């Protein structure tokens, strides 16, 4: 009996030791050892060079606070009254309609990342220096200002400058004597409590172009810009990166992209910035010193806008002004709703020949380039984005 008890105690001890050893081999995110091979690093940079490319130069985001019971009517009205004109404008490359409102069929979508202003995160460094493992969750504030984001893409800054005026001309040709702003004041703006817009420079995109959309269409420049529904989760990652660290950040982000691109269901990243391009990049994008990001003024002229869908003010409440200095880069990408992203990225990272804890690698090489980072998640209602450069220099 004593011998049996001793063997049983030994077995318990061995199980405990094995369990402790397994825990030691699976450290918490952002901690532990890793091995990244020269071949994997070279492959990551090669993948980014091959897959990521300059896209349309101008990226315009519209932020709408739509009345809760009017969302479906708003999307339908916007498609008929605004998008029908936009898709005919020279240089236009499509739009995406996103919402942070829960899906009635799946109330957990999208994830809103909590109510707290400090959120645990394995790799974030405060001010790019102090590892706090905490996000300053400014997204918690931003999401309260809107429930719809509409992103437009235009090939050049000349196209972006003429975007609104070209829509007005197209509208006037079909409705002599009527102004587009007056039409929208009757049809669209009563469905929303507020609206403002922000402009960004699209640095790179990995979105693939469907050949069927890129030719023989009836829309701008011969494209087919028919909206198509999206069943994926759309992520917006916000990074606050100093202008002199952008290149280093993007090189480090190439490693993340190389891992993400092999995750099942992933759809390529698009990276935009509110830092103006310079030198050759400015010439390539035909940039002419347009201000980027949100306007500095809290109250901005916006013909047709109504407060709370009732009182016409012709003035937008530009909540973006509160957040314009909190970030410099946004990355967009799509994934299936049900995927465990951390596990999938770890497997993809190991498949490239690396070993150990990928989060520890990212904590060391990516996040020190950023002062802060947070995530926001949306669900796409529809998209028609066709990021199609016509020539190597980005011109049409």
Break the chain into its structural domains and give their ranges.
29-383
* pLDDT per position as a tens digit, 315-346: 999 999 999 999 999 999 999 999 999 999 99
Predicted pLDDT of residue 27: 61
Percent of the chain with pLDDT over 70: 91
Which pLDDT score is estimated for 369? Answer: 97
pLDDT digit string, tens, across residues 260-278: 999 999 999 999 999 999 8
CB 335 within 8 Å of CB 235: yes
> Which pLDDT score, from 0 to 100, does residue 214 have?
77
Confidence of residue 395 (pLDDT cuts 50, 70, 90): very low
> Which region, left, alpha or beta, applies to residue 308 given φ > 0 means left and ψ of -120 to 50 means alpha?
left
Instruction: Give the separation between CA 393 and CA 10, rounded to whole angstroms.
Output: 71
The label of the residue with tokens 């739009």 reads: 95
Q: Per-residue confidence at 396, pLDDT binned at 50, 70, 90? A: very low
Taking only the tens place, the pLDDT of each residue in 304-315 is 999 999 999 999
Distances (CA, A) of 173 to 85, 94, 180: 11, 22, 11
Q: Helix, strand, or coil here: 174?
A: helix
Tokens of 214: 């890129």
Residue 284 has pLDDT above 50, yes or no: yes
Which of helix, strand or coil describes residue 18?
Answer: helix
What pTM did the predictor assign?
0.89
Contacts of residue 365, Cβ cutoff 8 Å, sequence gap at least 6:
252, 255
- Token pair 């919402």: residue: 99
Residue range 120-145: mean pLDDT, rounded: 96
Number of residues that this document lists for the chain: 396
Quick check: 5 pLDDT over 80? Answer: no
Higher pLDDT, 19 or 64: 64
Confidence of residue 394 (pLDDT cuts 50, 70, 90): very low
Q: Which pLDDT score, from 0 to 100, does residue 8 have?
A: 43
CB 181 within 8 A of CB 304: yes
Mean pLDDT for all residues in the chain: 90
For residue 91, give the nearest of 225, 246, 182 by alpha carbon.
225
Q: Which residues of 272-289 are buried (b: 16+ CB within 10 A; e: fewer)?
A: bbbbbbeeeebebbbbee
Q: What percent of the chain has pLDDT over 90?
A: 80
3-class state of residue 26 by DSSP: coil
> For the chain, what is the radius of gyration of the CA atoms?
24
Question: At 389, is the pLDDT very low, low, confident or very high (cuts 50, 70, 90)?
Answer: low
CATH of domain 29-383: 3.30.70.100
């Amino acid at each position: 009996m004593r011998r049996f008890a001793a063997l049983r105690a030994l077995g318990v001890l061995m199980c405990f030791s094995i369990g402790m050893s397994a825990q030691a081999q699976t450290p918490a995110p952002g901690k532990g050892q890793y091995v990244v091979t020269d071949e994997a690093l070279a492959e990551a940079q090669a993948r980014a060079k091959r897959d990521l490319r300059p896209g349309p130069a101008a990226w315009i985001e519209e932020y709408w606070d739509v009345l809760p019971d009017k969302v479906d009517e708003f999307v339908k009205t916007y498609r008929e009254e605004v998008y029908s004109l936009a898709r005919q404008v020279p240089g236009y490359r499509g739009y995406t309609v996103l919402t942070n409102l829960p899906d009635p069929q799946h109330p957990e979508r999208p994830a809103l990342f909590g109510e707290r202003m400090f959120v645990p995160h394995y790799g974030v460094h405060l001010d790019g220096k102090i590892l706090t493992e905490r996000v300053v969750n400014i997204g918690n504030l931003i999401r309260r200002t809107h429930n719809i984001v509409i992103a437009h893409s235009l090939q050049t800054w000349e196209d972006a400058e003429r975007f609104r005026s070209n829509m007005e001309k197209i509208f006037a040709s079909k409705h002599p004597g009527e102004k587009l702003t007056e039409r929208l004041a009757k049809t669209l703006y009563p469905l929303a409590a507020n609206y403002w817009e922000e402009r960004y420079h699209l640095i790179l995109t990995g979105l693939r172009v469907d050949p069927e959309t890129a030719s023989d269409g009836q829309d701008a420049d011969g494209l087919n810009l028919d909206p198509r529904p999206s069943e994926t989760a759309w992520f917006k990652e916000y990074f606050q990166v100093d202008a002199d660290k952008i290149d280093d950040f993007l090189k480090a982000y190439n490693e993340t992209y190389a891992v993400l691109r092999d995750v099942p269901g992933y759809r390529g990243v698009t990276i935009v910035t509110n830092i103006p391009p310079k030198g050759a990049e400015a010439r390539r994008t035909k940039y002419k010193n347009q201000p980027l990001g949100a306007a500095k003024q809290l109250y901005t002229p916006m013909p047709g806008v109504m407060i709370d869908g009732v009182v016409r003010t012709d003035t937008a409440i530009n909540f973006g002004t509160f957040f314009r200095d909190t970030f410099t880069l946004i990355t967009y990408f799509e994934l299936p709703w049900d995927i465990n992203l951390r596990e999938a990225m770890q497997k993809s990272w190991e498949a490239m020949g690396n070993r150990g804890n990928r989060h520890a690698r990212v904590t060391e090489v990516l996040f020190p380039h950023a002062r802060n980072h947070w995530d926001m998640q949306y669900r796409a209602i529809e998209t028609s984005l066709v990021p199609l450069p016509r020539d190597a220099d980005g011109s049409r």
